[in-house]
Structure 1
Amino acid sequence: MAEAIFNLNLYSNNNKLKMKKIFFLLIFSAYAITLAQVGINTANPKNMLHIVANGTNDPLRVEGVKAGSGAYLLIDSNGVIKSSTDRSNLTFVLPSVSNSTRLLLTQTGQTGSTTYNENSIPASSITPGNGSWIKISGLQSTLNIIQPSNTINISVEGMVQYDSAAAMTGDMTISYAIGIFLDGKLIATRMFAISGNGFSGTTDKWSVLGQSSNLSVGAHTIEIYATRRNTAGSASADLAIARPAPSVSSLNQFMAKGVLQINGVYQ
């Protein structure tokens, strides 16, 4: 009877020892998991959670987000992911636009010295003179505003070239202007001058920056215009804007094109 009791106690002690081993193993495993980096579709994770897409399906899907509502996800101060309709600090960048069409400004169409008024339309932006703003065809973009509190930044640049195989001498200068029109109204303009350097096909670069705030919700159109102002000396040839001059071959359309860039932020 004593031997049976001894064997029973030994069996009980063995079970307790096994249970302790299992318990410590579970604790160690849980601790290791909390420290480990987890990889999905990768055997070499670089972060605590590293997901590698298979190239055919979206790599992550979250359903049943309860807090908030809307189509946007944000992270609150506690690190919790929520859906939201708030677009504050949401930035956007439109694809760049470049022109492949041609614009030549003639001396007969120049406007003379003049000032430009903000929010004026192309037809009434220039006085005196018989010339007017001429649109650089193809250099335009349309943006769709989804929140009324916003700031839009617009930048455009390109090349100008004097259209003559004869040298443009140092006493020859042509002044011109480039304007940014938003929904048909002038919001930014800069005046420039190209002067002779003794070579044919004289070139120069122009660029204009514009900004607008709190555009109404909906579609808006941005267009770029140019105008010729004054001519000094015998610089009577045409002025090529965002295109190479036909009379010389030192510039091509790739080099001369205008590029329009638009970005913004919702506040």
Structure 2
Amino acid sequence: MKNSISILLVMAGLSLSAQVGINTASPKAKLDVNGDVNLRNKIVVQNAQDNTLSQGNNDQILVSQGVGYAPIWKSLRIPEYEPNKFYLIFNNSFSDRTGVKFTSGEQSTITSKNTAFTKGADISNLPGFKKIAGLSQPISVFSTDSKTYFQFETVVQADLPANGTTDISIDYACGIFVDDKLVNLRQRNLKASSATSTFITHNQIGVVANLSKGQHTVSVACSRLASYRTGNDVVLAVGINADTNINNFIAQSSLKVDVYEIPQVFNPIIN
């Protein structure tokens, strides 16, 4: 009987007062309970559109929709993973149409490539390398057991004349960096052809294992390494056109990043 009277008093208080507090003298809502709540039956949510009441389904939780909106029922799922197997946890792709250009005066001063081009080299120790701005992006790693794959594609062009009896060409290199540390590099030669303003497609795939957990920054930078029988006015362009026989849409760069992990963090998915 005492319990029934208490419940009636609470309900009466709710109807008479704007705010009722249980175990608190300063309630901050219509019903403010300072302590544990034990529900023995059900919770229902009213649909604002048709005023129907929903109890939700098994294993669903209430999710806030923000101020002024009633909460809704959502399913909570935790992905199932087999132990010691890699899964694609993070993937993204980026593009850039700005690219980078190099005049003959911007040629790299690196003399010993075998010494300079090593895994883990800091970009500050690689003079002449320019980053492709739109490809510098954050990536996330959630496990200490991971493999991160990179796929970089671009177009390289120089406003070279038609090739003569002695080859005219330019050496260049592009590197993939994580937190400004070199993880992959490709060096190539752009050779003049029978037509002017030669261009080639540059493809590059790299992988790095076991990046530390957390957020990292991936970037791509390129350099003009050497020139052979070219004029001082010849420009090398990576990810941007050097002449009008192609445009920046054709020459644009792209970078795809896939992070495979043996999961250690199981993030719940709400849908």
> Displacement of 1:100 after TM fit?
2.0
The answer on 1:264 being equivalent to 2:268 is no
Which residue number in structure 1 is paired with residue 96 of structure 2?
A: 99
Larger radius of gyration: 1
Which residue number in structure 2 is paired with residue 238 of structure 1?
A: 235
2:144 alignment partner, SS class: coil
1:138 alignment partner, SS class: helix
User: How many Å separate the matches in 1 of 2:206 and 2:146?
Assistant: 14
Residues 140, 260 of structure 1: 8 Å contact kept? no
Q: Which has the higher contact order (CA 8 A, sep 6+)?
A: 2
> Displacement of 1:198 after TM fit?
2.0
Residues 99, 253 of structure 2: 8 Å contact kept? no
- Counterpart AA for 1:212: V
Which residue among 79, 82, 105 is the counterpart of 1:73? Answer: 79
The answer on 1:255 being equivalent to 2:250 is yes
Which residue number in structure 2 is paired with residue 108 of structure 1?
A: 105
User: How many Å separate the matches in 1 of 2:184 and 2:140?
Assistant: 20
Which residue number in structure 1 is paired with residue 42 of structure 2?
A: none
User: How many Å separate the matches in 2 of 1:62 and 1:252?
Assistant: 57
User: How many Å separate the matches in 1 of 2:148 and 2:100?
Assistant: 27
> Displacement of 1:167 after TM fit?
3.1
1:95 alignment partner, SS class: strand
Q: TM-score, normalised by structure 2?
A: 0.62
Which residue among 187, 199, 212 is the counterpart of 1:191? Answer: 187
Which residue among 179, 199, 206 is the counterpart of 2:202? Answer: 206
The answer on 1:218 being equivalent to 2:214 is yes
> Displacement of 1:62 after TM fit?
6.2
User: How many Å separate the matches in 2 of 1:62 and 1:184?
Assistant: 49
The answer on 1:145 being equivalent to 2:155 is no
User: How many Å separate the matches in 2 of 1:227 and 1:266?
Assistant: 32
Residues 142, 214 of structure 2: 8 Å contact kept? yes
User: How many Å separate the matches in 2 of 1:232 and 1:208?
Assistant: 24
2:182 alignment partner, SS class: strand
Give 1 or 2: higher helix fraction: 1
Residues 156, 202 of structure 2: 8 Å contact kept? yes
Residues 168, 202 of structure 1: 8 Å contact kept? no
> Displacement of 1:87 after TM fit?
8.9
> Displacement of 1:226 after TM fit?
0.4
RMSD over aligned Cα atoms: 2.5
The answer on 1:156 being equivalent to 2:152 is yes
2:250 alignment partner, SS class: helix
> Displacement of 1:105 after TM fit?
1.3
**Deviation sequence 1:98-146 (CA, Å, 0-9, x none):** 1021311121121265231211111213xxxxx4211111122211111
Residues 154, 210 of structure 1: 8 Å contact kept? yes
1:157 alignment partner, SS class: strand
User: How many Å separate the matches in 2 of 1:234 and 1:74?
Assistant: 59
Q: TM-score, normalised by structure 1?
A: 0.63
User: How many Å separate the matches in 2 of 1:143 and 1:153?
Assistant: 12
**Deviation sequence 1:47-92 (CA, Å, 0-9, x none):** xxxxxxxxxxxxxx7627xxxxx9623288xxxxxxxxx7953213
Unaligned runs of 5+ residues in structure 2 are: 1-56, 61-75, 263-271
Unaligned runs of 5+ residues in structure 1 are: 1-60, 65-69, 77-85, 126-130
Residues 118, 186 of structure 1: 8 Å contact kept? yes
Residues 153, 262 of structure 1: 8 Å contact kept? yes
Relative to structure 1, the CA distance from residue 250 to residue 92 in structure 2 (aligned partners, 3 Å threshold; closer, same or farther) is farther
Which residue number in structure 1 is paired with residue 119 of structure 2?
A: 118
Count the aligned residue pairs.
186
Deviates more, 1:151-160 or 1:135-144: 135-144
User: How many Å separate the matches in 2 of 1:158 and 1:106?
Assistant: 19
2:124 alignment partner, SS class: helix
- Counterpart AA for 2:214: G
Residues 98, 139 of structure 1: 8 Å contact kept? yes
User: How many Å separate the matches in 2 of 1:155 and 1:233?
Assistant: 32
- Counterpart AA for 2:239: A
- Counterpart AA for 1:109: E
